[in-house]
Amino acid sequence: MKLAFILAYKNLIGAGLRTWLNVGILAFAFILIIFYNGLLDGWNQQARLDTINWEIGYGELRTDNYDPFDPFSIQDAHKAYKSEEFPMLTPILIRQASIYPHGRMISIALKGIPVDQSQLKLPTSFLTSEKETIPAIIGKRMADAAKLKEGEEVLLRWRDKNGTFDAMNITIVKIFDSNVGNIDASQIWISLEQLQTMTGLKEEATYLVANEGYSHEKISGWTFVSQETLLQNINDIIASKKISGSVMYLMLLAIALLAIFDTQVLSVFRRQKEIGTYVAMGMTPGQVVVLFTMEGSMYSFLAMLVGGLVGIPIFTYLAMNGISFPDVTQDMGVTMASRIFPVFGVQLILGTMVLVIVSATIVSFLPAKKIAYMNPVEALKGKLQ
């Protein structure tokens, strides 16, 4: 095996430019596979973490008649709760409302949340301001859509539990910036106690956000939605992106493997006298097959060496500084940060290395197996077989 390794290495280096062309394209495919999957893994981790911290916590306990995808269910989606019975849950009440900024009307979801909550990263501490009648916080997207600024007042109209309309000015005390569009677009947040008073829904909520220590037990009138269920949309998006991206880099890998395959076919064709000499010197046909297969598989090792020299500085820089994306991507309804930090995990790198090595070894063996059926005498004479 050691002799075969030395001979394979010398033959590759002796091939000159042809070797480094094959190594170059295989190294490029190796780097691209790791980069693309690392980018998706980084996006996945950031999106999941942001969604947990800003929106869903560790699950949601919803009223049975609440459907977040059906705005018509909001009017009746509220149910009484007792704080002492839900110590590990943050109640949120949702009501339909409208605001009238600068002579325009915008339909919104008016959400009430406890000002002293710490489960979500929403800056609810600003809702304790006593200078304003109704202090409110909104997200950056909502502020851009309504052309609102901090300290600005806007007319709010809502309906109470009996369907009676009422209106009052609210003051924007804070504009927060979040990567999660579901807590931002067309939404205004005020104090839960304030909203319950305005609508007459005392001690009622639409859903409750669970914290890490919550253990669910079946409660009549409430439906628990687990964290993984709430994150399923993100998982599905990442999975679809990985499938579509795999088509691109597998085609590139196939081109590199085709080049190795062609090189091996040419080697077997042109080096028949050399093959006959190996057999005449005592090597079995199987050992010669191993030699040629090892030559092909060594392309993958050299490719990983070149890929490491080129890729490690690039991946280190990207992991530390991230990749910037335009703000327009945040308006697509998908949780996506303006700067994504790729994650190049050990499993990803080792998996890619195994893929490249195994693929190169297989395509090297296919033409090399012909050697086992060669007649060494005819090969020494240089006759084509």
One domain, residues 347 and 246: yes
In-domain check, residue 241: yes
One domain, residues 285 and 299: yes
pLDDT at residue 277, rounded to an integer: 74
Q: Specify whether the CB–CB gap between 188 and 39 falls below 8 A.
A: no
Q: Is the pLDDT of residue 385 over 60?
A: no
Query: What does the pLDDT average to over 261-269?
Result: 75
Residue 107 half-sphere exposure toward CB, CA atoms < 13 A: 2
Q: Is the pLDDT of residue 271 over 90?
A: no
Q: Is the pLDDT of residue 286 over 70?
A: yes
One domain, residues 108 and 140: yes
Domain count, the chain: 2
One domain, residues 336 and 261: yes
What is the rounded average pLDDT for all residues in the chain? 84
Last-in-domain residue among 161, 181, 213: 213
Last-in-domain residue among 145, 179, 213: 213
Query: What does the pLDDT average to over 53-67?
Result: 91
Q: What is the pLDDT of residues 215-245, one digit of tens each?
A: 888 888 889 999 999 998 888 888 888 887 7
| Sign of the torsion angle spanned by Cα atoms 323, 328, 334, 335 | positive
In-domain check, residue 221: no
Query: What does the pLDDT average to over 340-355?
Result: 88
Q: Specify whether the CB–CB gap between 305 and 312 falls below 8 A.
A: no
Q: Please report, rounded to a whole number, the percentage of residues in the chain having pLDDT higher than 70.
A: 89
Q: Specify whether the CB–CB gap between 137 and 174 falls below 8 A.
A: yes
Query: What does the pLDDT average to over 166-188?
Result: 91
Higher pLDDT, 371 or 222: 222
Query: What does the pLDDT average to over 63-71?
Result: 89
Last-in-domain residue among 166, 183, 213: 213
Range in 1-10, 85-94, 152-161, 197-206 the model is least confident about: 1-10
Query: What does the pLDDT average to over 92-96?
Result: 94
One domain, residues 44 and 76: no
In-domain check, residue 218: no
> What is the domain extent for residue 282?
2-53+233-381
What's the whole-model pTM score? 0.78
One domain, residues 247 and 184: no
One domain, residues 63 and 209: yes
In-domain check, residue 223: no
344: alpha, beta or left, given left = phi > 0 and alpha = psi -120 to 50?
beta
One domain, residues 66 and 89: yes
Query: What does the pLDDT average to over 73-86?
Result: 84
pLDDT at residue 330, rounded to an integer: 56
Higher pLDDT, 192 or 220: 192
